[in-house]
Amino acid sequence: MSIAIIGGGQSAAEAFIDLNDSFPSVQVDMILRGSALKPADDSPFVNEVFSPEFTDLVFQQESSERERLVNEYHNTNYSVVDIDLIERIYGIFYRQKVSGIARHAFRTLTTLSKATATERGIELTVRNNATGEVTVRHYDAVVLATGYERQMHRKLLAPLEQYLGDFEVDRNYKLITDERCKAGIYMQGFCQASHGLSDTLLSILPIRADEIAGSLYEHGKKRGHSRSVVDCCWRQPADSLRLIVPTLCVGMPQGTLRVPTLEGTRSVPAAFPRGAWERSAWQS
C-alpha cells in the first residue's frame, strides 16, 4: 500500500511516524514545499510570547505591528516539528540509506499541481521546484497535513453580519457590534490576528476564561442584570442559610471533598447536581 503525506509540519510528521510504526508494509512519500523539516522554537525567551503579558502587548499595537509580531514568531507553532520527532524521522531515512532498502521517500521542494481520483487510486501530479520536473504518481491514500484557515466564525455568525462589521474584538474577546445588537458575543480561538499566537493554544486558557467571565458580568451590569452567583442559586426561606462550595484539599484521602459552608446566604445543597458535593471529616 502506498500513501502520500502532503505537508511539512507537526501533523505530517506524526502521521508519518504512525504509518511507519503501525503498518510495516506501507510505503510512505512525504511531500513538502520546503527543503527540510524545521524544528519548532520552544526556547525559554521565545516561549514568553505565550504569556498573558505578551497578549496585552500584541493587542495594544496597530494592525500592521500585530501582523509583524505574529509572523516573527510563526516558527513556534506553524510549519514546524518537535525536534525529537525530526530526529526519529531522520533516523528512519538514514537507516534506509545504509541498508539500501528504500521503503519511504522524502520529496522536498515539491508542490502538488493536481489530484485526480482514478481506478488505480489517487493520481497526484507534482512538480519539483528545483528542477521544474513534473511527475505523475499513484497512491492508495493521501493525507493532507496542510493546515487550515480559521473562518468558521464568519459562517456561523453570518446571519448577524449586519451588526458585526469586520469581526473585530475588544481586549476581552467580545465582538464589537453596533448599538442595535444587545447581546455579548465572545470569540475563542479566532483572535490570533488581534491577540497573538497564544489565542489558538492552551497556554492562556484559564486567564482568558477569567477575562471573558469578568466582561460578561460587566456587560450584564450595563443591561441591568447585575446578579451575583449567590443570587442565581436556588432559594429557600431565610432559615435555610447555607451555600455548599466543593473544593479539593491537598493531602485528603481519595474520594473526599472539603466542603466549606457560607452561612448567611439563601442557597442550599439542592442547587447543585446530585453527587457534586459530599460531607466528610474535612468539612470546615
| Least confident window among 40-44, 154-158, 189-193, 227-231 | 227-231
Per-residue pLDDT, 125? 97
Q: Which triple of cell numbers denotes residue 84?
A: 525529537
| Least confident window among 67-81, 105-119, 230-244 | 230-244
pLDDT band (50, 70, 90) for residue 220: confident
* Helix, strand or coil, per DSSP, at residue 172: coil
Please check the confidence at residue 172 and state whether its pLDDT lies above 70.
yes
pLDDT band (50, 70, 90) for residue 123: very high
Per-residue pLDDT, 225? 60
| Least confident window among 68-82, 126-140, 141-155 | 141-155
All domains of the chain in start order, with CATH:
2-40+77-144 (3.50.50.60), 152-226 (no CATH), 228-284 (no CATH)
Burial 200-209 (b: 16+ CB within 10 A, else e): beebbeeebe
Please check the confidence at residue 54 and state whether its pLDDT lies above 60.
yes
pTM: 0.71
Tell me the Ramachandran region of residue 17: left when phi exceeds 0, alpha when psi lies from -120 to 50, beta otherwise. alpha
Q: Across the chain, what does the average pLDDT equal?
A: 83
Per-residue pLDDT, 252? 45
Please check the confidence at residue 85 and state whether its pLDDT lies above 60.
yes
| Least confident window among 71-80, 205-214, 265-274 | 265-274
Output the DSSP codes for 106-153: EE-SEEEEEEEEETTEEEEEEEETTT--EEEEEESEEEE-------HH
Element (H, E) at 206: helix 205-222
